Structure 1
Amino acid sequence: MVGSLGFLIDSISFFLLFSLFEIDTIYARLVAFCVAASANWLGNRLFTFCKHNPNKLTQWLRFMFSAGISAIPNLAVFVWLSTLLPSSDLGLFIALACGALIGMGSNFLLSQHWVYRNSLEQ
């Protein structure tokens, strides 16, 4: 559920930045990814994993670092598919969705075993 909401935030942020504010595709994708990653951190902290870790900043930084690792295949797939698919909103959405799916698994595993590890042990 948290990942789905994060994807929705990612998609909306990207298309607002790209279409409405005419920000370059890659920059819009990077900013949208950071917005969505922060929303995912909060959702995971509140709903998916225990929230006993009192140091929110350290936990957020760990989450953003792990999201950055997961962003590598995510953004690589996005760039690759956005060059192959038709240059349209649908083509960009498909590229964004495929990239997000690729990064989702590694981000969840890093969150479970590193970001929220101390919270899970309590």
Structure 2
Amino acid sequence: MGANISTSQEAYRYRVIACHSSTEWRIHFENSKVTTKLIVIDFSASWCAPCRYMEPIINQFASDCKNVDFFKIDVEELNDVAQEFGVQATPTFVLMKQGKVVDKIVGAQKDELKDKIENHK
């Protein structure tokens, strides 16, 4: 039984965190500044077909890359955050380390995103 609990905790820990308020995002952002961990922000929209295509891929990356934190921000829900990062199209993926943008990918570029995550983690 103990193995099931740790497996569920691990599955919970390595998921994409959806931020639903600017305050929630700010807390995660501030926390990311004090670690050398790579964070990947998926800026998307519910109506965006390429975003929906990338969702299971991002979930798999989050499961595979346990030393990378993944966040999802809906551009319509948190337009201020999307503007802050200069997001003009969806999906846009912003890669950050210690509070600084290290890379950015616009579009459903699965292989490019995978390569950039590998390079920066």
TM-score normalised by the chain length of structure 1: 0.27
Larger strand percent = 2
Instruction: Find the structure with the greater CA-based Rg.
Output: 1
TM-score normalised by the chain length of structure 2: 0.28
